[in-house]
Structure 1
Amino acid sequence: MAHIHIDGLQIEVVRKNIRTLRLTVYAPDGKVRVAAPLRMAASTIEEFVIARRVWILKHQAKFAARERPVALAYVSGEAHFFQGKAYQLQVLEAKGGHAWPFGMSSFWSYPYHKTLLRSSAKAC
């Protein structure tokens, strides 16, 4: 993958067996990538990026303004989101085999270190 610099923007250029140019700005860091046909001239790609520079900067600013998610520590009382709802995490130590209670009010999971994670249905 080649990188080009145009007007202060670092662009990753990926050549593929496609027919049209594809411009993507990735969240959360605003990385810019152009997927281009295998035989397209570099000058055409540069013109395409220059023509869409305002659009690129707008989307990079939008991603930069977003709040970054906080790293989860998986401790009791921590809020975890599932399907758009916040759930308060309650960590319980478990011994023995695995269990999966099927109920609407709780979600259980066993990580590799055999600590039982329980998320109660109480919204935060």
Structure 2
Amino acid sequence: MPSMNLKYRDIICLVLGVGRLRKHYEGGERTDKDELLNGKPLYRYPAAFSSDGITCMGVGTLDTTSELAPSSFGELYRGVPGQQAEVIVSPNGQYDVRLNVRMESVVPAAKADQK
């Protein structure tokens, strides 16, 4: 089953662990260069995702330029207003999917709701 690439305007992320810098790959080989998005280093965090704040769409990874503190575990984040999230859905087993969500910047969900 191939992966699907979707766009969302509003997606909520529940951070499930500590992030790490993404590294750039060339020709299938990892390099020492950081992966960049609009000139900023890209971090990857394990996360769960929702589009309505109630239903879990699935789990996977969040790629963002926002450097979240290690204490972010269990906190809710969403993208800044007007930003679209790129969601790649791929199979993770017979009855399961894995999500990779890329958002340039994320803020705590409470702050996003106050704007």
Q: Identify the TM-score tier after normalising by the shorter chain.
A: under 0.3
Higher fraction of helix: 1
Instruction: Tell me the TM-score normalised to structure 2 length.
Output: 0.26
Structure showing greater Rg: 1
Higher relative contact order (CA 8 A, sep 6+): 2
